[in-house]
Amino acid sequence: MGSLDGQRAAITGGASGIGRATARAMATEGATVAVLDVDEAGAKEVAAEIGGHAYTVDVTDFAGVEAALIDASRAMNGLTLLFNNAGVGNIAPLHEYELDEWARIVAVNLTGVFHGFKAGVPLIQSSGGGAIVSTSSISGTRPSAGEAPYSAAKAAVAAITANAALEYGPDIRVNAVAPGMIRTQLTEPLLAGLPHLSDRYIADTPVGRIGEPEDVADLVVFLCSDRARFITGQNIVVDGGMTLHGAGVDGVLADVQRMLGNT
Report the pLDDT value the prediction gives residue 260, as an integer from 0 to 100.
66
Identify the active-site residue in 55, 150, 168, 201. Answer: 150
Q: Are 25 and 49 in contact (CB under 8 A)?
A: no
Question: Sorting pLDDT into bands at 50, 70 and 90, what band is 40?
Answer: very high
Residue 173 located in a structural domain:
yes
* CATH number, domain containing residue 241: 3.40.50.720
- Does residue 95 form part of some domain? yes
Position 153 in a domain: yes
Question: Which sign, positive or negative, has the C-alpha torsion 99, 105, 108, 110?
Answer: negative
Q: Is 194 helix (H, G, I), strand (E, B) or coil?
A: coil
Q: Is residue 1 situated within a structural domain?
A: no
Clarify whether 55 is annotated catalytic: no
* Closest by CA position to 67, among listed 8, 132, 115: 115
* Among the listed residues 73, 21, 43, 28, the one whose alpha carbon sits nearest the alpha carbon of residue 225: 28
Reported as a single tens digit per residue, the pLDDT across 170-184 is: 999 999 999 998 988
Q: Which amino acid is at 113?
A: V
What does the pLDDT read at residue 164? 98
Q: Is residue 3 part of a domain?
A: no
- Per the domain annotation, does 52 fall within a domain? yes
Is 66 a member of any domain?
A: yes
Res 173: pLDDT = 98
**Number of independent structural domains in the chain:** 1
| Residues spanned by the domain of 247 | 8-261
Question: Which residues have a Cβ under 8 Å from the Cβ of 22 and sit 6 or more positions away?
Answer: 11, 14, 83, 85, 213, 216, 217, 220, 221
Q: How far is CA 245 from the centre of its chain?
A: 23
Across residues 42-53, what is the average pLDDT?
98
